[in-house]
Structure 1
Amino acid sequence: MRQDIDQDEWIELLESDDNAVILDVRTDGEVSEGYIPNMKQIDFLEGQIFLEEVAKLDKSKNYYIYCRSGNRSGQACDIMEQLGFETTYNLEGGFMNWTGDIVED
């Protein structure tokens, strides 16, 4: 089930979740500007490729999903739920409002 959570909830949940996967659904260009550590990227705008890559993921994991603003990641959560993923968290406000740790290339 999709849950929209703020950054504080995101960090708190991640700290105690040993079944977590952080999923960045932004474009390569957006990712090159910085990203949340330990993420896996699958570009939502790739359409069919996004669906194919998501289908390969372990449905038993808990997915913490973010994009730039929270819009694409919300859509990704909904699609993943339709594909049988049980737990998806959407980061409200996305990366542009993120004040936690980031990696910059």
Structure 2
Amino acid sequence: MADLTQQEWAAQLAADENALILDVRTSEEVEEGYIPNSIHIDIYKGQGFIEEVESLDKAKNIYVYCRSGNRSGQACAIMSQLGFVNTFNLVGGFMNWEGDVAE
């Protein structure tokens, strides 16, 4: 797992041909906007979160974000335990995101 600043995360993601973006916020938070092309799996689903994450391709570079960067950091740690090698946490989360937003 790597903690990346907003700029590092956006630059690395833009250059990554093997990227997957994971939004671990609640459905209510997602309704306020999200980073385009992201997959939504709520970390508060507990075991359901683990089951859904395990269906993702472990060979992908997974860019994870939440509202502030705390839950996404936890998600990266869980994913590391599940065998994901390349997970990247967005420091500052969506509330500090300055890139494109979809609604």
Structure 1 distance, partners of 2:96, 2:13, is 18
- Letter aligned with residue 100 of structure 1: G
How far the C-alpha of 1:61 sits from its partner, in A, is: 0.3
What residue identity is the alignment partner of 2:67? Answer: R
Structure 1: which amino acid aligns with 2:87?
T
Aligned 1:81-92 pairs, distance under 5 A: 81-92=80-91
CA distance in 2, matches of 1:6, 1:37: 18
How does the TM-score come out when normalised to structure 1?
A: 0.96
How many angstroms apart in 2 are the aligned matches of 1:19 and 1:13? 11
Residue-by-residue CA offset, 1:47-67 (whole Å, 9 max, x unaligned): 011000011111000000000
Distance 2:69 2:14 in 1: 21
Q: CA deviation at 1:99?
A: 1.1
For 1:49, give the aligned amino acid.
G
After superposition, what is the alpha-carbon deviation per residue over 1:65-98, rounded to whole angstroms, capped at 9, x for unaligned?
0000000000000000010000000000000111
Aligned to 1:72: 71
State the Cα RMSD in Å: 0.5
What whole-Å deviation, never above 9, does each CA across 1:17-66 have from its counterpart, x for those lacking one?
11000000001000000000000000000101100001111100000000
d(CA) in 2 for partners of 1:72 and 1:14? 20
The equivalent of 1:11 in structure 2 is 10
SS at match of 1:59: coil
Other-structure match for 1:29: 28
Question: Which of structure 1's runs of 4+ aligned residues deviate more than 2 A?
Answer: none
Structure 1, unaligned runs of 5 or more: none
Percent of pairs identical after alignment? 64
Instruction: For 1:14, give the aligned amino acid.
Output: L
Which structure 2 residue ranges, 5 or more long, are not aligned? none
Structure 2 equivalent of residue 20 of structure 1: 19
Q: Secondary structure in 2 aligned to 1:90?
A: strand
Per the TM alignment, residue 11 of structure 1 is displaced from its structure 2 partner at its CA by 1.1
